[in-house]
Amino acid sequence: MTGPELKFKDQVVIVTGSSSGIGKACAIYFANQGAHVVVNYSSNAEEGQNTLNEILNKGGSAILVQADVSREDDVLALFRETISKFGRLDVLVSNAGLQKDSPFLEMSLQQWQKVIDVNLTGMFLCCRAAARQFIEQEKNATETSHSELSIGKIVMMSSVHDVIPWAGHVNYAASKGGIMMFMKSISQELAPHKIRVNSVSPGAIKTPINKEVWSDPEKYKGLMNLIPYKRIGTPQDVAKAVGWLASDESDYVNGETLYIDGGMTLYPEFADNG
């Protein structure tokens, strides 16, 4: 991809969990904007390959790396492969996440642990690796290459359930609530290094994670009661917001959560006088 108008020309971007859904849309968005993209998958190599092919077929630059974000060795290897192939890192989109739903009273320790491991510990491992890399490459930068702008950007994929409680999904809501304070705390700690850290919190986005809801007409109708804007979101809606937070256009934005939710967090039950 070439052209002066490309927002991420020659920047290196890792998108975790980009074999599917929102992560896939983010990977394609950054590649279309001129970035070198690291597509990551955990277990579905075919889906990972599909994302990679979509980028390469349009003339984009990308590699595919398998890594389970909840495993420290895998995360370190993901970053090593990125640096060995592209030489640096500019943006981390820490997106990988999953649900293991169950009523609280029946929730197993395994269901709890799996979601916390992937959604929250995975976030810790990836963000720590990215921040260390940003600082390392800044140390090695030449005097003339220093700029007033951020030296590295992290965007975390949270959820409206970082503020909306969610019965039957307490592991997921706890992980996303945890991301909120994790994101703000590391943003505070990393801002003096000129690293920017922010989150996006999607509402209902049409991806495999919630197929059970949007593929059932009755459940879809119920969902619309929760969305003032009266449509389900698309992965591209989220990718564009991630792109803005990762771009220099948002250079003075630190520790913020951007809700991409068609108004889901606006207490829709009160729209008709409550």
| Catalytic residue ranges | 172
Q: Which two tokens stand for residue 135?
A: 């600082």
Nearer to ligand NAD, 23 or 60 (CB): 23
Residue 204 binds to ligand NAD (criterion: CB under 6 A): yes
Q: What is the DSSP string of 34-78?
A: T-EEEEEESS-HHHHHHHHHHHHHTT-EEEEEE--TT-HHHHHHH
The contacts of residue 267 (CB under 8 Å, 6+ apart) are none
Instruction: Give the relative orientation of helices 235-246 and 21-32 as an angle to the nearest 10 degrees.
Output: 50
Residues 136-165 touching ligand NAD, rule: CB under 6 A, are 157, 159
Residue 70 binds to ligand NAD (criterion: CB under 6 A): yes
| Nearest distance in Å: CB 71, ligand NAD | 8
Q: Give the chain's radius of gyration (CA, Å).
A: 18
Nearer to ligand NAD, 96 or 227 (CB): 96
CB 123 within 8 A of CB 179: yes
Angle, vertex CA 238, rays to CA 236 and CA 240, nearest 5 = 70
Residues 112-141 touching ligand NAD, rule: CB under 6 A, are 118
Nearer to ligand NAD, 126 or 150 (CB): 126
Give the ranges where the chain is alpha helix by DSSP (H): 21-32, 45-57, 72-86, 109-115, 122-139, 170-190, 211-214, 217-224, 235-246
Residue 17 binds to ligand NAD (criterion: CB under 6 A): yes
Sheet strands side by side (includes 152-157) = 61-66, 36-41, 12-15, 91-94, 152-157, 195-202, 257-260
The contacts of residue 26 (CB under 8 Å, 6+ apart) are 15, 18, 93, 95, 235, 238, 239, 242, 243
Interface residue with ligand NAD, options 34, 68, 131, 262 (CB under 6 A)? 68
Binding window for ligand NAD (CB under 6 A); candidates: 13-21, 31-39, 145-153, 244-252: 13-21
Residue 177 binds to ligand NAD (criterion: CB under 6 A): no
Residue 60 binds to ligand NAD (criterion: CB under 6 A): no
Query: Residue 28, Cβ neighbours under 10 Å: how many?
Result: 23
Interface residue with ligand NAD, options 111, 210, 234, 254 (CB under 6 A)? 210
Residue 257 binds to ligand NAD (criterion: CB under 6 A): no
Binding window for ligand NAD (CB under 6 A); candidates: 54-62, 64-72, 104-112, 266-274: 64-72
Interface residue with ligand NAD, options 12, 91, 96, 129 (CB under 6 A)? 96
| Nearest distance in Å: CB 126, ligand NAD | 9
Nearer to ligand NAD, 150 or 201 (CB): 201
Nearer to ligand NAD, 120 or 131 (CB): 120
Binding footprint of ligand NAD on the chain (CB under 6 A): 16-17, 19-23, 41-42, 44, 68-70, 95-98, 118, 157, 159, 202, 204-205, 207-210
